[in-house]
Every structure is written in structure tokens, then in C-alpha cells.
A = this chain, B = another copy of it.
Amino acid sequence: MIEELSHIFKSPAPPEGIGDDCAVIRIGRQQMLVSTDMLADSTHFSHIMSNMEKGRMAAAVNLSDIAAMGGRPVAMVVSLGIPRYMRRGDISDIARGINERAVEFGVRIVGGDTKSTQELTISITVMGRKTGRLLLRSGARAGQILAVTGTIGEAAAEYSRLERGEKPEKGSRLFNPEPRIEEGILLSKSGISSAAIDITDGLALSAWYISRASCVRLEIDEEAVPVARRLSGHGIGSTRQKEIAYYWGGDYELLFTAESREALGRVASRMKTPVTVIGSVCKGEGVYSRRGKKKALLEERGYDAFTGKKIDS
């Protein structure tokens, strides 16, 4: 669908057009980053989320797209589609949630729109500026290393708690994703990284996006993947754990490349979030999981943001 739309729109190739986390456009002499995300109640929000959380999440997923390019977010416009059954106070709470994240990252909310719709719909566009080297899906080069911020499976662990009927954990990443803005900027400014993506669609599918856009093979060391401790602590077996780490999605961490372990070490020491080297960029194509001498091709599947459901093809 996105391919068909890109074709109809005659969108320029990324990063100037559709196909990366942000588009890089030129207004006058200035390059800027822009990205947009729409979230709808029936598809993207859980009924147990508070209105504040819905607002916070809508802001965060947009900010994460700027993070994945190594940019600094500057301004946002916010459109709210509001159903008849929502009260004024609910809408204010959504706005408060959006504003919290905007303030936290120094982003100004400069415009928006409010319209009557059948279900709650939050559409945000975020604009930002380049800070250094652009981090592109097409930027990976053979010889680089592959790394991720934070841990993988936090969103899945929380989802699994809720499935078991447990109370939601306050501040859990499932409803409160953390855009890795400062981490992206450090990578971009240092010049040691040339490719990044946020892994909301799952580690495997996100790696596939980089592999295809960069025409490289990615190899992931299965045992190096930093799986959320909460995941292993809840009786989830290791096959299931592997399935979740590769295919589940919902984590807003950055998967990125770097020139070397040494270079990354120097930059990572300035980050608040730990980073883990999980593999390497090689000549070839596809995404492989390796364990000892065994290599297995990872499937090109993950979370489908369109329907809010997993692609279990």
C-alpha cells in the first residue's frame, strides 16, 4: 500500500521522500526533518490506557521517528479527531499527555486542528533539524557493527502481564515508549553511525528494512540480544523469548550501525541508555541470526502498524 501511494505521489526517493523514519526536506536554504503518525482508538490504543497515556504515546511515537534520523525535534502540530462521547476533560487530558512529552524534549506545539470524528484519532506531525550525519535505513555499510539501545521485549513483557490479568505496571514501556532522542543525536553528531531505525515493528523486520535499503546482509548474534529481564523473569521459555525478541515489536529502541566497537564505546559512555553490540554488517543480503557456527535466516515479519496487529504470515 505504501509503495503504491509513494508511486501515485511521485514521492522522491528517501531520505527526500517516503521510505525512511523521516523525510529530509529543504525550505529555503535549510534542511529539515519531518515525520507524521496517526493513531486511532480502535486500532492503536488499549482500552485500559488513560487519556494522558494516549496523548503521551502519540507524541512519543512521532518523536521516535526524529530520533531514528539523529535529529533534534523542534515543533509539532497536533490534530485531534474527537468523537461525540468524549468529554472536554478527556480531551484536555490527551492534550496534557502530548504536552508532557513535548516539554520534556523541548518541542513547541505550534498548531493543530480539532474535528468531530467517529473515534478518537490523534494525528501529529513533528519537525526537527539535522544535528550531524543523517542516520538512514540505507546508510549501513559492510564492515560496520550493529547495535541497539536499551533492552528488547519490555513492551511484550508488559503485554504478557496484562494478558494474565495482572495490573498494568506504572510507566511500563508498552504504553509509555521512550523516544531515544539524545542517543540519536549523540550518534549523529559523533559521525560514527550512518544507519538507524526504531524497532517498533520488531527487531527482525526493522533489520530487514535496513538490509533491503542498504543492500547489505545483517548478522545478529542471538546470545548478544539484550532481552528484557522482565521477560525472562516471567516463566517465558527461551524459544518463546526468541520469538518475542525478534518478532514482537512495540519497543521504541534504536537499531543502528557504528564504525567500530571502540568508536561506539566512546560515544556510548555519554549516553544515559546502555547500548549493546548485537552483530555486524556484511556484504550480501538478508538478516541472519547466528549462534556459534550456526546461521539461520530470520523471517521478514513483525508488527503491522497499519492494523495494530502482528503479521503472523
Which residues on A are within 8 Å of B, measured CB to CB?
1-2, 4-5, 8-12, 16-18, 22-23, 25-32, 34-40, 42-44, 74-75, 77-81, 88, 91-92, 95-96, 98-99, 102-103, 108-119, 121, 123, 125, 127-129, 305-308
Tell whether, in the assembled complex, residue B113 and residue A36 are in contact, meaning their CB atoms are under 8 Å apart.
Answer: yes
Nearest B residue to A109 by beta-carbon distance?
Answer: B9
Tell whether, in the assembled complex, residue A118 and residue B115 are in contact, meaning their CB atoms are under 8 Å apart.
Answer: no
CB A110 to nearest CB in B, in angstroms, measures 4
Tell whether, in the assembled complex, residue A43 and residue B112 are in contact, meaning their CB atoms are under 8 Å apart.
Answer: no
Chain B contacts for A114, CB-based, 8 A: 1-2, 5, 306
CB A224 to nearest CB in B, in angstroms, measures 32
Tell whether, in the assembled complex, residue A27 and residue B129 are in contact, meaning their CB atoms are under 8 Å apart.
Answer: yes
Tell whether, in the assembled complex, residue A79 and residue B117 are in contact, meaning their CB atoms are under 8 Å apart.
Answer: no
For A40, give its contact among B26, B99, B112, B116 (CB under 8 Å).
Answer: B116
Chain B contacts for A18, CB-based, 8 A: 109-112
With A99-B10, A117-B121 as given contacts, are A112 and B36 in contact (CB-CB < 8 Å)?
yes
Taken together, the copies of this chain in the complex come to 2
With A110-B11, A121-B121 as given contacts, are A34 and B127 in contact (CB-CB < 8 Å)?
yes
With A18-B110, A23-B110, A119-B118 as given contacts, are A99 and B37 in contact (CB-CB < 8 Å)?
no
Chain B contacts for A123, CB-based, 8 A: 36, 38, 79, 113, 121, 123
Tell whether, in the assembled complex, residue B305 and residue A12 are in contact, meaning their CB atoms are under 8 Å apart.
Answer: no
Q: Which of A4, A74, A109, A125 has the most CB of B within 10 A?
A: A125
For A22, give its contact among B8, B78, B111 (CB under 8 Å).
Answer: B111
For A125, give its contact among B22, B77, B129, B308 (CB under 8 Å).
Answer: B77
Nearest B residue to A130 by beta-carbon distance?
Answer: B28
Chain B contacts for A27, CB-based, 8 A: 27, 30, 32, 74-75, 127-129
Of the A-B pairs whose beta carbons lie under 8 Å apart in the complex, a sample of 14, sorted by A's number, is A1-B88, A10-B109, A17-B108, A27-B129, A29-B29, A34-B75, A34-B110, A38-B79, A38-B115, A39-B115, A43-B117, A79-B123, A81-B121, A116-B308
CB A172 to nearest CB in B, in angstroms, measures 23
With A18-B111, A23-B111, A129-B28 as given contacts, are A42 and B118 in contact (CB-CB < 8 Å)?
yes
User: How many Å lie between the Cα of A119 and that of B198 in the bound state?
Assistant: 28
Nearest B residue to A304 by beta-carbon distance?
Answer: B116
For A115, give its contact among B40, B109, B116, B129 (CB under 8 Å).
Answer: B40
Tell whether, in the assembled complex, residue A28 and residue B36 are in contact, meaning their CB atoms are under 8 Å apart.
Answer: no
Tell whether, in the assembled complex, residue B121 and residue A17 are in contact, meaning their CB atoms are under 8 Å apart.
Answer: no
User: How many Å lie between the Cα of A121 and that of B113 in the bound state?
Assistant: 13
For A23, give its contact among B25, B77, B306, B308 (CB under 8 Å).
Answer: B77
Tell whether, in the assembled complex, residue B34 and residue A96 are in contact, meaning their CB atoms are under 8 Å apart.
Answer: no
Chain B contacts for A42, CB-based, 8 A: 116-118
CB A266 to nearest CB in B, in angstroms, measures 27
CB A306 to nearest CB in B, in angstroms, measures 6
For A9, give its contact among B5, B8, B99 (CB under 8 Å).
Answer: B99
User: How many Å lie between the Cα of A80 and that of B35 in the bound state?
Assistant: 14
